[in-house]
Structure 1
Amino acid sequence: MARKNDYIIEVDKYIGGRIYSLRLAQGFSRQQLSKIIGVTHQQLQKYEKGTNRISVGRLVLIAKALSTDTSYFYEGLEAADNSEPMVTQHQRMCIEVSRNFMKIENSDHQTAVNTLIKSLSKIA
């Protein structure tokens, strides 16, 4: 069945973008998350791009795997300005910083990085 409603297509893209951002922020690769939710990494990519619609059941699995509530994926939907890119370069950098921070196993090093970021934010 063809999807002709532009609003529905934008909703699919919005939810997919939220999945993508949260997956990256939590340090999951596409392969890791797709294995947890029982789909191929290509299918997950289609979900993230909004090419394929996500069933409610699959969205619940994704939310559980990413330790969030399903409502997270809908937050801000009404206010979303679809003329702007889903994820900006600045947002990508924030996600990358978050992923790298989570890889630091030493708590003293995590504290040092956090202190550095706090001090740099006061300078700007």
Structure 2
Amino acid sequence: MPHQVDVHVGKRVRHRRWLVGMTQQQLAEKVGIKFQQIQKYETGANRISASRLWDIAEALSVPVSFFFEGLEVAAKETGDKSDIPADLMGDKEALDLVRSYYAIPENQRRRLFDLARVLSDVA
């Protein structure tokens, strides 16, 4: 069973990779490894060594500390039964939704936001 720190760091790698629009293959090539290894890192199945994490941070243009941000909060929320994921922006569907939302013209975006708020209040 993966350690929660490895899972958290892996999610942060995936999150940042999605944000910059990079594929696993592209990241793997920048770091000098196979894309399957990136898959294992992102799921927390394999631990990332310090030197490899340094290389990944360089490839994704973030400080190494980025991968540990929110770790205390994630540890506290492990027992939380909420329908909202602890790492909401680590969820690909949520990230795609946010990107699509901001691609909508502002006046339509406001109306969509109001509709979503009403629907969530009724649910």
Asked if the contact 1:23/1:29 (under 8 Å) is kept, the reply is: yes
Instruction: Give the match for residue 63 of structure 1.
Output: 57
Residue 20 of structure 2 is aligned to residue 18 of structure 1: no
What is the Cα deviation at residue 95 of structure 1? Answer: 1.8
Task: Give the partner amino acid of 1:113.
Answer: I
Question: Which whole-Å CA distance do the structure 2 matches of 1:68 and 1:43 have between them?
Answer: 20
Count how many residue pairs are aligned between Structure 1 and Structure 2. 109
- Flag structure 2 segments of 5+ consecutive residues without an equivalent: 118-123
Q: Structure 2 vs 1, CA of residues 120 and 30 (structure 1 numbering), >3 Å: closer, same or farther?
A: same
Say which SS state the counterpart of residue 45 (structure 1) adopts. Answer: helix
Relative distance call for 1:59 and 1:117 in structure 2 (3 A) is farther
For residue 120 of structure 1, the aligned residue among 90, 112, 115 is: 112
TM-score (norm: length of structure 2):
0.70
TM-score of the superposition, structure 1-length normalised? 0.69
Letter in 2 for 1:27: G
Runs of 4 or more above 6 Å deviation: none
Give identity over the alignment, percent: 36
Gapped regions of structure 1 (runs ≥ 5): 1-5, 102-109
What is the distance in 2 between the residues matched to 1:95 and 1:120? 17
**Cα 1:122–1:77 shift into 2, 3 Å:** same
Identify, as 1 or 2, the structure richer in helix.
Answer: 2
Q: How large is the RMSD of aligned CA atoms in angstroms?
A: 3.1
Name the CA distance, whole Å, in 2 between partners of 1:66 and 1:13: 18
